[in-house]
Amino acid sequence: MENKKPILFIFWVIAIILGVTLFKQFDFKTFKFEKPALDFIYLVVFLFSVFIIIKNSKKK
């Protein structure tokens, strides 16, 4: 149980950083991203980290 806390913290940090980055790069006037290819990679990693966080929270 002690082993998973640092890993979960890392996924929290990744999710927060990528969430803020995606929010900043989204243009609400045109509903498009500034750099679509890079933002797609950010979105995939963000969703993966949120999935890991939710998966670990359901185990408890």
DSSP 11: H
- What is the pLDDT, as a whole number, of residue 2? 59
The span from the first CA to the last CA of the chain, in angstroms, equals 10
**Residue 58's pLDDT band (boundaries 50, 70, 90)?**
confident
pLDDT at 44 over 60: yes
**Residue 1's pLDDT band (boundaries 50, 70, 90)?**
low
For the segment 11-32, what is each residue's pLDDT rounded down to a tens digit? 999 999 999 999 999 999 999 9
Nearest to 43 by CA among 29, 22, 23, 16: 22
Segment 41-47 mean pLDDT? 97
Q: Give the three-class secondary structure for 60.
A: coil
Q: Give buried/exposed letters for 16-35 (b at 16+ CB in 10 A, else e).
A: eebeeeeeeeeeeeeeebee
